[in-house]
A and B are shown apart, each in its own frame.
Chain A
Amino acid sequence: MVSSSTDTQEVLMEIRNVDKAFGGVKAVDNVSMDLRAGIITTLVGPNGAGKTTLFNLITGELTKDSGTIKWLGQPINRIKPFKAARAGILRTFQDLRLFNEMSVEENVLTSVEANSVPAPMTKSQRTARSEKVEYALNRAGLFSKRNIRAKDLAYAERKFLSMARVMATDARLWLLDEPASGLDPNSYEKFLEILREEVKQGVTVCIIEHNLDIVIGISDRIAFLDRGKLLADDEPQTVLNDPELRAIYFGERT
């Protein structure tokens, strides 16, 4: 096989032989892969393939049974979610988990403030913080709705708020769990545009996505998971044209 063009990118995260079982079910089965800087890696695979579980293992929401994960060359095997966030690894949730009773602006603001105890801020820090919040709200098209409670937003707006929370931060790696699912075509065009722009500015993205149009539209690389096993991790065309993987993806497996 010819080596892919993305193989030359710097490795931000190195995942090696990671296992996780729930009872007798192997949710993630000996998965090894790299997340490379400045590109979009898409995790695809049928329901129950272990995609979200892999995110949970990376951020420390769940603990691995075995295997190692390195972030910027350092092992982060027993990391706690809040420390993963502070190290620059942020994630969104499939069910969004917005701060529902808080305003749109507060949702973004609190995501930028990663300290536990209020720390005194200089004026320039304060300005920088407001600029980040404003930037994210504008990008997500929510600036005019910044004072509305998160739970009062429409569905698509809620999805964009979930993105805005991540956009406002300085995180290097975004783990996005089905951020575009259920979006109308207009909204997901806008979503793709945001994502491309942010990646251009240096963010690295790993995204779980089911919609093939979106997968084709954004992926620099595709990792294919099925029943916890990583079946492929390659250029989009290579993965998408593999008849066996297509059969699994479209449920034609016997």
Chain B
Amino acid sequence: MEAYLLNLVILISIYSTLAVTLNFIMGYAGIYSLAHAVFFGVGAYAGTFMAMHFNASIFITIPVAMLAGAVLSLILALPALRVRGEYFVAASLGLQVLAVTIFSEWKAVTGGIGGLIGIPPLDILGLEVFKPSQFIFVTVGVLVIVLIIINRLVHSSFGRSLRAIRDSESAAAAFGKNVPLIKTISVVISSALTAVAGVLYASYLSFINVESFMLDTSVLIMAMVIIGGTGTQAGPIVGAALLLILPSIISYLDFLPQTEIGSIQQIIYGLGMALLMIYRPGGIVGRKKQSEAGKE
């Protein structure tokens, strides 16, 4: 039971990091990306490549993964952020589909469909971290650091610019904000931080393949953000925890036919999302539908 809980908390903290970094662009800049799992995957593959072929020190694997995530996100952001929001969603979807093909085919780096096995544990200043009881400190620690970074950014003038752009792009520009530049920077930061989660994930499982980085993962992360509360600080973590705990809870309910668990889970997700959007469109942590102040 303890091992089960440890595993669950580690996965929740990794997915929370993903949700928090997606929320940074979705909730504060209004950029909806369906390619978040791509940067998760790029981080995982880049970190693994370094760990397997050069050095498993996190001071090598994490910076390389962040750089890879940042550079790839520039390729998406530079053309796609110059146009309106809907096009970015479409472009990110395109990147997601393309990336899955590359992840499956580029055998030298990704191991193809079969993936990579025997990924070395994290090396932190010579200390090999692989036991879940130690690993949990790393993943929770990274989540906390990412939260602090994003919190600082959101409350800086940069964060104000992002929120201004989300609320009115033309007004933000009319007050001197270089909208494409600010959006691009936010996507690059988000992608680089996402890549860190990829390094942890690969090292924790010591096995990765393309299935962890496909469109359903991108959609799952987006669902975590929306259900938890877009543009809130705690929302993405609540959403990540809920969506990872829910399957376990469902499998504990004996009266459900165990063979249909998968589809029941989908029905509950779908129903839950629909009800949430009707009664609490801001998410679990988000504001209530009607604002109390300012009613005339």
Question: Contact residues of A with B, CB < 8 Å?
Answer: 59, 61, 80-82, 85-86, 90-91, 93, 97-102, 106, 109-111, 113-118, 148-149, 151-155, 165, 169
Contact = CB atoms under 8 A, between A and B. Distances in A.
Contact of B161 (A59, A86, A110, A169): A110
B170 A86 contact: no
Given A82-B176, A102-B163, A110-B160, A151 B168 contact: no
Interface string B157-177: 110110110111011111111
Nearest to A56: B170
B156 A118 contact: yes
Contacts of B296: 154-155
B248 interface: no
A81 to B, nearest CB: 4
B174 A91 contact: yes
Nearest to A91: B174
Contacts of A118: 156-158
B113 interface: no
Residue of B166, B176, B182, B185 with most partner-chain A CB within 10 A: B176
A101 B154 CA distance: 14
Contact of A117 (B164, B171, B173, B185): B185
Contact of B166 (A90, A101, A151): A101
Contacts of B125: none
Contact of A81 (B157, B160, B170, B181): B170
Nearest to B182: A116
B173 A85 contact: yes
A93 B157 contact: no
Interface in B169-195: 170-179, 181-182, 185
B173 A80 contact: yes
A146 B33 CA distance: 33
B259 interface: no
B175 A165 contact: yes
Interface of B: 156-158, 160-161, 163-164, 166-168, 170-179, 181-182, 185, 231, 291, 293-294, 296
A86 B178 CA distance: 10
A152 B290 CA distance: 11
A82 B164 CA distance: 13
Nearest to A106: B160
Contacts of B160: 102, 106, 109-110, 113
Nearest to B166: A101
Contacts of B156: 118
Contacts of B167: 98-102
B185 A149 contact: no
A117 B176 CA distance: 12
Given A82-B177, A113-B161, A116-B177, A97 B291 contact: no
Nearest to A84: B174
B294 A111 contact: no
A118 B157 CA distance: 6
A93 B171 contact: yes
B161 A81 contact: no
A55 B71 CA distance: 38
Contact of B176 (A100, A114, A149, A155): A114
B139 to A, nearest CB: 29
A23 B166 CA distance: 30
**Shortest beta-carbon contacts, A-B, top 7:** A152-B294, A114-B176, A97-B171, A85-B176, A97-B168, A81-B173, A99-B167
Residue of B163, B166, B168, B171 with most partner-chain A CB within 10 A: B171
B294 A93 contact: no
A153 B176 contact: no
Contacts of B231: 101
A151 B290 CA distance: 12
A169 B166 CA distance: 21
Contacts of B172: 99, 110
Given A82-B176, A93-B170, A165-B175, A152 B157 contact: no
Given A82-B173, A85-B173, A117-B185, A110 B294 contact: no
A61 to B, nearest CB: 7
B174 A90 contact: yes
Contacts of A91: 174
A101 B163 contact: yes
A136 to B, nearest CB: 13
A52 B178 CA distance: 22
Given A149-B293, A152-B291, A116 B178 contact: yes
A153 to B, nearest CB: 6
Contacts of B182: 116
Contacts of B157: 109-110, 113, 115, 118
Nearest to B168: A97
Nearest to B173: A81
Contacts of B161: 110, 113, 116
14 contacts: A61-B174, A82-B176, A85-B175, A93-B174, A97-B171, A99-B163, A99-B172, A101-B231, A106-B160, A113-B160, A114-B175, A116-B182, A118-B156, A149-B293
